[in-house]
Amino acid sequence: MKRRALLGLCLLAALGAGAQAETQPIAAEGSVAPAPQPGQKLKDAKGATLGQIEKIIADADGRPRQVLVRVTRVLRVLPVDALTRSGDAYVTVLTRAELEALPAAD
């Protein structure tokens, strides 16, 4: 339980880090960048592919809120706010190790 709380805090702290100039934030309303789509790649800040977006989870109003990302054959849940658009992929400030430490999606 403590580990999950710590990982959650790490994710929130990582979200506060500055995005690269060539990336565009995703906004749930009035999107700056298009919403993620299944099949798109997820990359780290250095450009290494971490996984693939498998599913978009929307809120009651149909706005994307979370994505299911397959990382080393396991689905992980990330908030859309943790992603920025870069070309045809999405970028997260989390490392592969941090993603793999997140709880698996059921």
Task: Give the start-to-end residue ranges of the domains of the chain.
Answer: 2-101
Distance, in Å, from the CA atom of 97 to the CA atom of 19, rounded to the nearest integer, reads 20
Identify each DSSP E strand in the chain by its residue range: 24-25, 41-43, 49-58, 64-71, 74-79, 84-86, 89-91
The yes-or-no verdict on residue 61 having pLDDT over 60 is yes
Q: Which fold has domain 2-101?
A: SH3 type barrels. (2.30.30)
Task: Average the pLDDT over 63-74 and give the result.
Answer: 92
Q: CB–CB of 12/94 below 8 Å? A: no
pLDDT at position 19, please? 38
The yes-or-no verdict on residue 16 having pLDDT over 50 is no
Task: Average the pLDDT over 55-77 and give the result.
Answer: 93
Task: Average the pLDDT over 64-88 and give the result.
Answer: 92
86-103 pLDDT, tens digit each:
999 999 999 999 999 988
